[in-house]
């Protein structure tokens, strides 16, 4: 089945630092999504990407849809303590996976004040 390789698995950074995480796949996808999940809560959609090469920003967050359609990255600039959480990439696939979001394993972000 489809697999997303998300890295790094965890990050420990100082407040104010920039953060970068990425997702790669051996398959081509037409939609990449980035979610953030706080402990005990459901994931919250941060950014949606629909076009190869697309670069989209949402406040301090910037995400890009790779030109090969096999990868995506998420950057967070000037991190703050509330950025703590688990960040997931997700993709939509067609065929037998129609309607199914496939998630990466997540990046655990810790921000030290």
Partner 1 sequence: EAGVTQSPTHLIKTRGQQATLRCSPISGHTSVYWYQQALGLGLQFLLWYDEGEERNRGNFPPRFSGRQFPNYSSELNVNALELEDSALYLCASSLEDRGLGTEAFFGQGTRLTVV
Binding site for partner 1 (CB under 8 A): 30-31, 33, 35, 40-45, 48, 50, 88, 92, 94, 96-106
Closest distance between partner 1 and the C-beta of residue 12, in Å?
18
Nearest residue (CB) to partner 1, 27 versus 77:
27
CB of 10 to partner 1, least distance (A): 12
Burial class (CB in 10 A: 0-12, 13-18, 19+), 26: exposed
CB of 96 to partner 1, least distance (A): 8
Q: Of the candidates 84, 73, 67, which has an alpha carbon nearest to the alpha carbon of residue 24?
A: 73
Residue 18 or 50 with smaller CB distance to partner 1: 50
Nearer to partner 1, 82 or 96 (CB): 96
Q: In terms of DSSP H, where are the helices of the chain?
A: none
Please give the helix or strand (H or E) that residue 111 lies within, else none: strand 107-112
List the structure tokens of 22. Answer: 């990425």
Give the CA radius of gyration of the chain: 14
Instruction: Please identify, using beta-carbon distances, which residue of 2 and 20 lies nearer to partner 1.
Output: 2
């Amino acid at each position: 089945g489809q697999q997303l390789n998300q890295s790094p698995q965890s990050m420990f950074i100082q407040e104010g630092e920039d953060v970068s995480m990425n997702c790669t796949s051996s398959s081509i996808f037409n939609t990449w999504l980035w979610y953030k999940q706080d402990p005990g809560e459901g994931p919250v959609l941060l950014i949606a990407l629909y076009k190869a090469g697309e670069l989209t920003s949402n406040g301090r967050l910037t995400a890009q849809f790779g030109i090969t359609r096999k990868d995506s990255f998420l950057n967070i600039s000037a991190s703050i303590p509330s950025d703590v959480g688990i960040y997931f990439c997700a993709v939509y696939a067609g065929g037998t996976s129609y309607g199914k979001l496939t998630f990466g394993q997540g990046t655990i972000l810790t921000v030290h004040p």
